[in-house]
């Protein structure tokens, strides 16, 4: 982590996640790459045996102010074993960089990954799930075979239930709506697998249900017994609830909404 510019201090929940995510990924090393000059504009690629395999491009959480691509390394072994490339991407963080900078970074990461093998799926946890969802609804959605947000955020502003206005939105009040996936659903979005923890933050459960209901093709997955952090840890467990469903869903073997 020393190669990165300083981030905002971790909250207690952020510190707990940071320690556990790195523990789960201990000993795993991917192929490092970059899609831009900033240290946060990096990719960590864990290739499957078949170069033509499908890819899951995943964005970390951290409240848009914290996080590292290395956090998500623990997801790679199970996905590689199932025949998927796994790529964890970083992006520039608030408060130094506000919307839409992070989304532009995620778009650049998608463009860097697209064409390197088979189909590309995008996903993310928490703030990363938010960016993945916006990406899958945006102008480059034709490059995306499906979106798998975990405990994501889908609307900001009045009625969102968020305890405060996230700083990554910046000073422009118009960003609240521009950054809300719920308000930007096109006629032909890719399919979504929307997951959240059974004991997740109540406002995120409400948002996920609202977002899934608004999409033409959405599959819901509630992760039994998991809170907001546990939903992420579960996503890297081949014997957990998320990964077996996600693998079948990406293969086209499960329901698509």
- Spell out the domain ranges in the chain: 31-250
pLDDT at 254: 66
**CATH assignment of 31-250, among 3.40.50.720, 3.40.50.1820, 2.130.10.10, 3.40.50.2000:** 3.40.50.1820
- The pTM assigned to this predicted structure is 0.97
Nearest to 69 by CA among 95, 36, 99: 36
If you ran DSSP here, which 8-state letter would residue 196 be given? E
Give the model confidence (pLDDT) of 163-197 as tens digits: 999 999 999 999 999 999 999 999 999 999 999 99
What's the mean pLDDT in 35-40? Answer: 98
Q: At what angle do helices 101-113 and 127-137 cross, to 10 degrees?
A: 70
Q: Please check the confidence at residue 23 and state whether its pLDDT lies above 70.
A: yes
Percent of the chain clearing pLDDT 90 (strictly above): 96
Beta pairing class for 218-223 and 192-197: parallel
Q: Rounded to whole angstroms, what are the CA distances from 137 to 106, 184, 188, 250?
A: 13, 7, 9, 18
Tell me 256's DSSP state.
-
User: Of the given ranges (64-68, 114-118, 198-202), which has the lowest mean pLDDT?
Assistant: 114-118
* pLDDT tens track for 78-127: 999 999 999 999 999 999 999 999 999 999 999 999 988 799 999 999 99
Helix or strand or coil: residue 101? helix
**Greatest alpha-carbon span in the chain:** 47
The DSSP symbol for 192 reads E
- Provide the token pair at 253: 């073997």
How many angstroms separate the CA atoms of 246 and 84, rounded? 11
pLDDT attached to residue 119? 97
- Residue 136: which of 104, 181, 96 has the closest Cα? 181
- Give, to the nearest 10 degrees, the angle between helix 242-250 and helix 228-235: 60
For range 67-75, the mean pLDDT: 98
Q: Is residue 48's pLDDT more than 80?
A: yes
């Amino acid at each position: 982590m020393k190669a990165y510019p300083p981030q905002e201090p971790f909250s207690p929940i952020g510190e707990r996640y940071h320690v556990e995510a790195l523990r789960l990924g201990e000993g795993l090393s991917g192929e490092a790459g970059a899609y831009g000059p900033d240290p946060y504009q990096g990719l960590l690629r864990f290739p499957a045996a078949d170069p033509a395999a499908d890819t899951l491009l995943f964005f970390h959480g951290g409240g848009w102010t914290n996080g590292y691509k290395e956090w998500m390394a623990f997801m790679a072994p199970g996905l590689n074993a199932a025949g998927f490339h796994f790529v964890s991407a970083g992006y520039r963080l608030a408060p130094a960089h506000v919307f839409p900078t992070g989304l532009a970074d995620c778009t650049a990461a998608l463009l860097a990954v697209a064409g390197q093998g088979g189909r590309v799926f995008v996903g993310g946890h928490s703030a990363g799930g938010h960016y993945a969802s916006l990406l899958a609804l945006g102008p480059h959605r034709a490059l995306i075979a499906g979106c798998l947000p975990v405990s994501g955020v889908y609307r900001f502003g009045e009625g969102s239930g968020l305890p405060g206005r996230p700083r990554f939105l910046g000073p422009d009040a118009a960003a609240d709506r521009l950054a809300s996936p719920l308000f930007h659903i096109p006629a032909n979005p890719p399919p979504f697998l929307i997951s959240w923890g059974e004991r997740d933050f109540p406002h995120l459960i409400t948002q996920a249900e609202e977002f899934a209901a608004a999409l033409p093709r959405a599959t819901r997955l509630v992760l039994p017994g998991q809170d907001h952090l546990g939903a992420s840890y579960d996503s890297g467990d081949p014997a957990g609830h998320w990964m077996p469903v996600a693998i079948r869903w990406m293969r086209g073997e499960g329901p698509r909404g």
